[in-house]
Amino acid sequence: MSQFDIARGAFVSCIRSGRLWLIQCFANLILFALFVAWLLIPVASNFHLIFNFVFALVLIVAVLALHTGTLNGFFDRQNSESAPVWPAFRRALRHLMPVAICVAAFSLLWLLVGKLDAYDTMLPAYLRSTLPVALRRHITLQTLDTLFSAFLFFIRWIAAPGLLLPLLLQAADRGFRGFGRQGLTIWRKTVLSPVYWLALLIAALLGVFATQKLMAWTPDFRTSTFHVEAFSLAWRLSVAYFLGLFSWILACSLVGRCAAAAGTSSDVAGNTAA
């Protein structure tokens, strides 16, 4: 199976997975509503503190089960288009501890990447000051600012998730065995695929960059009315939500397709590559 066949298959599987789309669409809204309800829980007594902690723990478990179950669901669809959905989510629940380890590693990596934000004003100016005069005439500070912002975007939204998602799938599917030789071999084959990173770039541009630009756009306040601004906010929220949902489901489909393709190679499964 060629790299472009994997990307095309991931896109087709993403479009055709109606059940996973429905689960993601409604479950995310329900979880967001529960998160808002959790914020409203008072902390006036020990009972409230305990209830607050238990509610938050259940919410975290539900979020992890939803998204890792989706990863498992797309992985199962590579073997059978009619694979049932719920076994994938039950398997994710059984493997919650290794999943939590992967999420903790991702959170640590995310925090480390976040520290680079402190250099967004200093580093571009410093780099430009070290350039020869002939180059400084053609490379403006704004250009270096844009390049540094693009670098941060790549590290935060493409590199960090791209490195962790294949391992997260292995943990959700196999449990702690996903950290073994076979799981790490599949992870290595996935992250060494150029098409994998290209598809993740497209997903990040749609799900992050496009939604940020969409939500930052507002009607002209000098001519708009309250109803126009309310309608504008409603449709921008709706489009941004479905763009973000599409990018996440596409990423899950891509990771599942790459894992299935890597798992059929001779050095992993003992048979010929598909």
- Domain membership of residue 235 (yes or no) is yes
What's the pLDDT band for 128 if we cut at 50, 70, 90? confident
Residue 20: per-residue pLDDT: 92
Is it the case that residue 82 has pLDDT exceeding 80? no
Which residue range(s) make up the domain with 113?
3-269
Q: Region 115-121: what's the mean pLDDT?
A: 84
Helix then strand then coil, in percent of the chain rounded to 5, is 85, 0, 15
- Domain membership of residue 78 (yes or no) is yes
- Domain membership of residue 231 (yes or no) is yes
How many domains does one find in the chain? Answer: 1
Is it the case that residue 268 has pLDDT exceeding 50? no
Task: Look up residue 153 and give its two tokens.
Answer: 């975007």
Q: Region 65-69: what's the mean pLDDT?
A: 95
Residue 210: per-residue pLDDT: 93
CA atoms within a 13 Å half-sphere pointing along the CA-CB vector of 265: 16
What's the pLDDT band for 125 if we cut at 50, 70, 90? confident
Of 76-85, 176-185, 246-255, least confident by mean pLDDT is 76-85
- Domain membership of residue 274 (yes or no) is no
- Domain membership of residue 121 (yes or no) is yes
Q: Region 176-189: what's the mean pLDDT?
A: 92
Is it the case that residue 98 has pLDDT exceeding 90? yes
DSSP string, 123-183: HHHHHHHHS-HHHHTTS-HHHHHHHHHHHHHHIIIIIHHHHHHHHHHHHHHHGGGGGSHHH
What's the pLDDT band for 267 if we cut at 50, 70, 90? very low
| Residue matched to tokens 């501890």 | 97
Tell me: the pLDDT tens digits for 235-251?
999 999 999 999 999 99
**Highest mean pLDDT pick, 45-49, 80-84, 112-116, 189-193:** 189-193
Of 49-53, 147-151, 217-221, 232-236, least confident by mean pLDDT is 217-221
Closest CA to 19 of 98, 78, 73: 73
Residue 1: per-residue pLDDT: 55
pTM: 0.87
Q: Region 53-64: what's the mean pLDDT?
A: 95
Residue 251: per-residue pLDDT: 94
Is it the case that residue 65 has pLDDT exceeding 90? yes
Q: Region 37-43: what's the mean pLDDT?
A: 88
- Domain membership of residue 83 (yes or no) is yes
- Domain membership of residue 82 (yes or no) is yes
Q: What is the mean pLDDT of the chain?
A: 87
Residue 265: per-residue pLDDT: 43
Task: Look up residue 184 and give its two tokens.
Answer: 């790490």
Is it the case that residue 266 has pLDDT exceeding 60? no
Q: Give the 3-state secondary structure of 46-79.
A: HHHHHHHHHHHHHHHHHHHHHHHHHHHHHHHHCC
Integer Rg of the chain from CA: 22
| Cα–Cα distance for residue pair 17/15, rounded to 1 Å | 6
- Domain membership of residue 259 (yes or no) is yes
Task: Look up residue 106 and give its two tokens.
Answer: 């991702």
